[in-house]
A and B are shown apart, each in its own frame.
Chain A
Amino acid sequence: MNHLAIQLVSLPAFALLALAMDRHQLDLLGRELPPGPTRGLRMAGWLALLASLAIAVGLKGWSLGLVTWCGHISLSAAIVLLTMVAWERRKSVKK
């Protein structure tokens, strides 16, 4: 359960960070967002990432929490990337 809590926060964190990048805005939304919302997305992403760290450390203490968190953020980043690759592939097949 603890693990789920960490993952459920770090996963959206990376999704937000990805959405805050021009290249992926173009890929996913078809246009670049103005600087304001982009900054908001980036801030939200970093905050969520910090929150996931806080959850991990809060639940498991510094030593176990940090190790666990490192594992979870690697997994979240990979899931976000694979989702975007799958999304792109689907789009290019449809065309």
Chain B
Amino acid sequence: MTANDKKHSKPGKPAARGIRQTMSDLHIWAGLLVGWILYAMFLTGTVSYFKEEISQWMRPEVAHQAAVPDAAEVVPRIAEELQQMVPGSSQWSLGMADARNNVVSAFWRIAKPAKGERGFGSAVFDPQTGQKVSSRETVGGEFFYRFHFQFHYMPVLWARWLASFCAMFMLVAIVSGVITHKKIFVDFFTFRWGKGQRSWLDAHNALSVFGLPFHAMITYTGLVTLMAMTMPWASSAAFKTQAERQAMQSEISAFVPAGKPSGQAVPLAPLGDMVRQAQQRWGADRIGRVTVNNAGDASARVIVTYGDFERVSISPKYMLFEGSTGKLLEVKDQVGAAAETRGVLYALHLGRFGDTTVRWLYFLTSLAGTAMVGTGLVMWTVKRRTKLPHPDKPYFGFWLVERLNIAAIAGLSIGMAAMLWANRLLPLGMEKRSDWEIHWFFILWGASLVWAMLRPAKRAWVELLWAGCAALALLPVVNVLTTDRPLWRSAIDGDWVFTGLELTLLALAALHAWLAVRTWRHQPKRKPQRQAAPRPAANSPAPAARDVDSGATAASAAMAPDLQEARP
């Protein structure tokens, strides 16, 4: 994009707008417009690859699970408890404990919801005892996952539309970015250190190109996950009746709607036997979910669903049993090609099929994607700073972008860490405790925005990066003080969930510290022209020289904005 800018800005010779220049403009503005939201979607989505682990960390009362319990033993235990808790519920469902989950997550339909009450209830159970887990009230890592495509404090439907809209812009930015990037192969391994704008562009390119398969895949599949909402016309044209729609649903979801209860009470046949049948078919650790419709009624159905293991598809794969007798009624393990395509794309996005290494690869490339958006945002300011007539008094648009960058990038880390702090520090019996964990996320994120607006830009970067570093680095300390599971004990016990998560927090803290130090040390070279002439951009005749020269300045100013206040 610089190459074209050079051409474009050559004085006295208005170059024809080539495809690259057009694409470059598209790339810049599509990226900037939704960049802040994309950054948040990317980062919260990135950590969601470890949402189960985050959830475990946020429920420190539930002990580390050394071995995965046998689903055939766990299910009857919890089913018994649930039938007493929610008798008459038309449907309840148990998400199994597995290598990454130390609890069973249950949800159920409430038989007769009171007015204004939601029709669903949920709770987590201890697979060993079958009892409801008595841990602090928290949404856990699920919050980041939900936030990543439906945000918060706004109607879910609107939010998903907004997320789809941003993802579409992202796709546009990726395609236009590839076209703009003139020398993908020649510059493949190129990184020029300390060259200002050039370095930012190199970093942005490397982050984009290396992760390109992932970025394109994740954006496209992200759109696919929401396609039924954004583009309902094809399916509403093709499937007109209720029965047709239901048939379509059964191709894409393992959800089997509960039929009308017969009213004749018949106890459930032993659930353990049904689970064993499924285990024989798929393998002992492959049970993902057990759903029971109309438990205790003659019409009861039991659906045992395959988990996410080593299967790159989320298309329904389940066994359907008659609840009263335990007879196998149906085995569903194939769907049509279109449904399977969707199932595969969806699964690729979620990445739940992967082992730990694959999930780390997802996490790292996704983090690179986050950095790609972040460097893109910063570059917008780096590129324009050199052209500012008064660097210390930028025009409003520049000021706004710069401040939003600070809050969106440095502030988000603080907000996310704040939620984990709240998880440890809020009183256990507090009313609406899990809501308040989320409120604290937004309070601190909002406070960062205010801070970024009030402070000089460079100092705001440095201060908020240090704040983010401290918030992350002190989390293991807070954990020592508030739980009986300090890092060293987790390590000795071989609890890789706690150990891994806290070591990752420390690594991220170190990353923030590095960024803060580099930003602070950065001494932008003053450009002599700047004092001499009010419009430095106009009096740099040789484009090549200008590029190198102003590049260096901007580079140094990379994250270190206000030239004037570098030394107070």
Q: Which residues of A contact B (CB under 8 A)?
A: 3, 14, 17-18, 21, 23-24, 63-64, 67-68, 70-75, 77-78, 80-81, 84-85, 88-89, 92
Separation in Å of the A33 CB from the closest CB of chain B?
A: 16
CB-contacts of B347-385 with A (<8 A) = 348, 353-354, 357-358, 361-362, 364-365, 368
A80 and B214: CB pair below 8 A? no
Most buried by B among A67, A77, A80: A67
Q: Interface majority SS on B: helix, strand, loop or mixed?
A: helix
9 shortest interchain CB distances as A-B pairs: A71-B361, A63-B312, A70-B213, A77-B210, A3-B357, A18-B189, A74-B210, A74-B365, A74-B211
Does B344 interact with chain A (Cβ within 8 Å)? yes
Given the complex, which residues of A lie within 8 Å of B5, measured CB to CB?
none
Does B254 interact with chain A (Cβ within 8 Å)? no
Given the complex, which residues of A lie within 8 Å of B313, measured CB to CB?
63
Sample of 14 more A-B contacts, CB < 8 Å, known A71-B362, A84-B189, A85-B193: A17-B188, A24-B189, A63-B312, A64-B312, A64-B358, A67-B348, A67-B354, A67-B358, A68-B358, A71-B361, A73-B213, A75-B361, A77-B209, A84-B191
- Residue in A70, A78, A88 whose beta carbon sits within 8 Å of that of B368 in the complex: A78
C-alpha spacing A85/B190, complex, angstroms = 9
B189 and A21: CB pair below 8 A? yes
C-alpha spacing A3/B362, complex, angstroms = 14
C-alpha spacing A23/B183, complex, angstroms = 13
Separation in Å of the A14 CB from the closest CB of chain B?
A: 8
Number of interchain pairs (Cβ within 8 Å):
69
CB-contacts of B393-434 with A (<8 A) = none
Separation in Å of the B218 CB from the closest CB of chain A?
A: 11
Separation in Å of the A5 CB from the closest CB of chain B?
A: 12
- Residue in A63, A73, A84 whose beta carbon sits within 8 Å of that of B344 in the complex: A63
B213 and A74: CB pair below 8 A? yes
Separation in Å of the A61 CB from the closest CB of chain B?
A: 9
Given the complex, which residues of B lie within 8 Å of A64, measured CB to CB?
310, 312, 353-354, 358
Q: Which residues of B contact A (CB under 8 A)?
A: 186, 188-191, 193, 206, 209-211, 213-214, 217, 310, 312-313, 344, 348, 353-354, 357-358, 361-362, 364-365, 368
Given the complex, which residues of B lie within 8 Å of A70, measured CB to CB?
213-214, 217
* CB closest chain-A residue, reference B190: A23
A74 and B214: CB pair below 8 A? yes
Q: Interface majority SS on A: helix, strand, loop or mixed?
A: helix
C-alpha spacing A24/B377, complex, angstroms = 29
* CB closest chain-B residue, reference A88: B193
B365 and A80: CB pair below 8 A? no
Given the complex, which residues of B lie within 8 Å of A21, measured CB to CB?
186, 188-189
Given the complex, which residues of B lie within 8 Å of A67, measured CB to CB?
312, 348, 354, 358
C-alpha spacing A21/B312, complex, angstroms = 37
Separation in Å of the A17 CB from the closest CB of chain B?
A: 8
* CB closest chain-B residue, reference A83: B189
B210 and A81: CB pair below 8 A? yes
Given the complex, which residues of A lie within 8 Å of B210, measured CB to CB?
74, 77-78, 81
Given the complex, which residues of A lie within 8 Å of B206, measured CB to CB?
78, 81
Given the complex, which residues of A lie within 8 Å of B310, measured CB to CB?
64
Given the complex, which residues of B lie within 8 Å of A3, measured CB to CB?
357-358
- Residue in A72, A84, A88 whose beta carbon sits within 8 Å of that of B361 in the complex: A72
Given the complex, which residues of A lie within 8 Å of B362, measured CB to CB?
71
C-alpha spacing A85/B191, complex, angstroms = 7
B361 and A68: CB pair below 8 A? yes
C-alpha spacing A74/B214, complex, angstroms = 9
Separation in Å of the B252 CB from the closest CB of chain A?
A: 18
Given the complex, which residues of A lie within 8 Å of B361, measured CB to CB?
68, 71-72, 74-75
Separation in Å of the A75 CB from the closest CB of chain B?
A: 6
Separation in Å of the B514 CB from the closest CB of chain A?
A: 13
C-alpha spacing A65/B357, complex, angstroms = 13
C-alpha spacing A24/B191, complex, angstroms = 11
C-alpha spacing A61/B193, complex, angstroms = 40
B312 and A81: CB pair below 8 A? no
Given the complex, which residues of B lie within 8 Å of A85, measured CB to CB?
191, 193
* CB closest chain-B residue, reference A69: B213
Given the complex, which residues of A lie within 8 Å of B358, measured CB to CB?
3, 64, 67-68, 71
Given the complex, which residues of B lie within 8 Å of A88, measured CB to CB?
193
C-alpha spacing A14/B214, complex, angstroms = 18
- Residue in A17, A63, A81, A92 whose beta carbon sits within 8 Å of that of B191 in the complex: A81
C-alpha spacing A71/B193, complex, angstroms = 26
C-alpha spacing A21/B186, complex, angstroms = 8
Separation in Å of the A4 CB from the closest CB of chain B?
A: 9
Separation in Å of the B205 CB from the closest CB of chain A?
A: 10
Separation in Å of the A15 CB from the closest CB of chain B?
A: 10
Most buried by B among A3, A14, A80, A81: A81
B364 and A75: CB pair below 8 A? yes
Q: Could you jot down 12 A-B contacts, CB within 8 Å? A: A17-B189, A23-B186, A63-B312, A63-B344, A71-B358, A71-B364, A73-B213, A78-B210, A78-B368, A81-B206, A85-B191, A85-B193
- Residue in A14, A17, A71, A84 whose beta carbon sits within 8 Å of that of B365 in the complex: A71
Separation in Å of the A57 CB from the closest CB of chain B?
A: 13
Given the complex, which residues of A lie within 8 Å of B211, measured CB to CB?
74
A81 and B214: CB pair below 8 A? no
Separation in Å of the B204 CB from the closest CB of chain A?
A: 13
B193 and A80: CB pair below 8 A? no
Separation in Å of the B101 CB from the closest CB of chain A?
A: 21
C-alpha spacing A24/B186, complex, angstroms = 10
Given the complex, which residues of B lie within 8 Å of A81, measured CB to CB?
189, 191, 206, 210
Separation in Å of the B84 CB from the closest CB of chain A?
A: 42
Given the complex, which residues of B lie within 8 Å of A74, measured CB to CB?
210-211, 213-214, 361, 364-365, 368
Given the complex, which residues of A lie within 8 Å of B344, measured CB to CB?
63
